A and B are shown apart, each in its own frame.
Chain A
Amino acid sequence: MRFVPFLPANVPENRPGVPLFLCLVPCGFPSPADGYVEDEIDLHRVLIPNPESTIVMEAAGDSMVEANLVAGDRLIVDCSLDPVPGRIVIAAVDGEFTVKRLIKRRGRYILKPENSAYPERDITGDENVEIRGVVTYIIHKA
């Protein structure tokens, strides 16, 4: 039986967390013998562990659609993280903010879109490019 977290219909305003039942909950009823609230999920703490270095940005355009990142999505950007190849980053390029995946190929650093219609950009040693932060979560409204 899969573990199902219990979601109350209304989370009281002052409690950011969502109570989690420790036990397995078969569809229907929690076991009276096991009912025990163990911990809470604080979404803010999970998604933004470094609030003093994190900003939220809004995605524009469709250059990253193949990474499930579309216009209107909110991006959680942690500027304290180091831009490591493989991660999606925010960069300031040609006077604009852009969101792309940073890759390293044959010793060159490249900003790679996730949409075949867009070109890559080699940024190795380019002083006009500033990597500003790493995208840690993409918030997409269902």
Chain B
Amino acid sequence: MSRHAKTQPALWGLLDCNNFYASCEKAFRPDLIGKPIVVLSNNDGCIVARSAEAKALGIKMGEPAFKAADILRRHRVEVFSSNYELYGDLSRRVMRNLDKLADIEQYSIDECFIRMGSAMAVQAEAAAKEFKRVIQKNVWIPVSVGVGSTRTLAKVANHLAKKSGQGVLVLRPGSAELEDALERTSVEDVWGIGRRFAKRLLRYGVTTARHLRDMDPDLALRVLTVVGQRTVLELRGEQCITLDDPGVVRKTLVSSRSFGSKISRKSDLAESLAMHASIAAEKLRREGLLASVIHVFCSTSLFGDEPGRSIGTRVSLPVPANDTLTLVSASRAALDSCFRPGPYIKAGVMVVELAEKCRRQLTLLEACAPPEGGQRQALMEAFDVINAKYGRDTIRTAAQGARGAPWHMKRSKKSPNYTTDWEELAKAG
């Protein structure tokens, strides 16, 4: 799957899994076919996935689990804690099955773009249906496929395919179906627009994808920035978004979680922040990025009678970094400078001013850096290899604390690792 300069495909497909986490859970529970289920985030905090039946009950995405408790109980909605091992494995299966059938570019855990050459494009409907059939058969996961002449249009098609329940939709350039689809798609649902831009566009009378497509590109540039302008061009069928775009490199990286129970002791908070700093560092390394600034924050109750209060501060790193030890000690220093008694229910770390490792110029400090720089990198690489093989946090800094610390995740309703653990296989009688 090469990202080198490629010729533009005749058509783009966008395949994504329906309610992915929920579908993963249902795949191994035939008793839950047709039933409402939800999946909770880390620490069983919020609802991050709902089956179609749960959506129909009005359960909202992102809703804190305890707020939805009533409706969950009343309708006997089955609740699952996130099972990332399972979702990761099924995601790999989806992508590998597709990779045998088409030229794909994975975009997220449950979505990928498909480059359709002219031969496949001529039979786009049949190809899209075949992808859907194969994934359902080989991985037991339902998906939707949208096809259009650009990625943005493929996303429009996908969104409508899913809503209609048909599961597949092809929007050919110049077709009546395409006009109709753009008319029926609200501008907020167009890839890259979102609620904030949609509000701005409202002032110009732009409410549908069709209006947006017909918008003057220079006006689009002013109202929406260059990313929005590209969206307008893509809606017109001009391919200009590539995934290597600088517009797509992340600007911030956050790791945060709410605690299992309120935390008051500074040492417990420090451990939690050290964990988040370590997670952030690992993500930075994986994406080839370095951070120059790290923010830490802790907040008190977010819901309930008292208004939320938080402490936090930012620390500039003398040299842009992505190694665990540096970020962990920076997080400790940050907490020392801003700590006030809590109790706190949530803490986290955000790193900003990110730069790609390969593109950076050395600062004077680094040019004079002690030789430990190379050793530190080797240490980080060893960290990553060991943690990848034996599971996250097998090796961690002492600052992160022993397992079972009061703030560790509750994952009380996690399903078995049906596809990755010999002792947790699904049973057939």
Contact = CB atoms under 8 A, between A and B. Distances in A.
Interface of A: 52-53, 55-61, 63, 74-75, 79-80, 90, 92-93, 95-99, 130, 132
B96 interface: yes
Contacts, number: 63
A53 B138 contact: yes
A92 B100 CA distance: 27
Contacts of B138: 52-53, 79-80
B140 interface: yes
13 contacts: A52-B92, A52-B100, A52-B139, A53-B93, A55-B418, A57-B428, A59-B429, A60-B429, A80-B138, A96-B31, A97-B429, A98-B428, A98-B429
Question: Which of B96, B100, B418, B426 counts the most chain A CB atoms within 10 A?
Answer: B426
Interface of B: 30-33, 92-93, 96-97, 100, 137-140, 418-419, 422, 425-429
Given A52-B138, A53-B138, A132-B140, A58 B33 contact: no
Given A79-B140, A99-B428, 16 more contacts: A52-B92, A53-B93, A53-B97, A55-B418, A55-B419, A56-B422, A57-B426, A59-B427, A60-B428, A75-B428, A79-B139, A92-B33, A95-B30, A98-B428, A99-B429, A130-B30
B419 A63 contact: no
B428 A97 contact: yes
A126 to B, nearest CB: 14
A97 B33 CA distance: 12
Contact of B30 (A55, A56, A75, A92): A92
Contacts of B425: 56-58, 74
Contacts of A99: 428-429
Nearest to B138: A53
B228 to A, nearest CB: 38
Nearest to A92: B30
A57 B426 CA distance: 5
A38 B429 CA distance: 42
Contacts of B96: 52
B95 to A, nearest CB: 8
B92 A58 contact: no
A90 B140 CA distance: 13
A61 B429 CA distance: 5
Contacts of B139: 52-53, 79
A57 to B, nearest CB: 5
A35 to B, nearest CB: 36
A53 B93 CA distance: 7
A25 B413 CA distance: 56
Contacts of A56: 422, 425
B429 A52 contact: no
A113 B267 CA distance: 61
A55 to B, nearest CB: 6
B32, B140, B422 interface centre (most CB from chain A within 10 Å): B140
A99 B425 CA distance: 14
Nearest to A55: B419
Contacts of A58: 425-428
A111 B428 CA distance: 14
A59 B428 CA distance: 5
Contacts of B100: 52
B30 A97 contact: yes
Nearest to A95: B31
Nearest first, the 9 A-B pairs at minimum CB distance are A95-B31, A92-B30, A53-B138, A52-B96, A61-B429, A97-B428, A99-B428, A60-B429, A58-B425
Residue of A97, A98, A99 ringed by the most chain B CB atoms within 10 A: A97
B137 A97 contact: no
A93 B30 CA distance: 8
A63 B429 contact: yes
A57 B418 CA distance: 8
Contacts of A60: 427-429
A97 B139 CA distance: 15
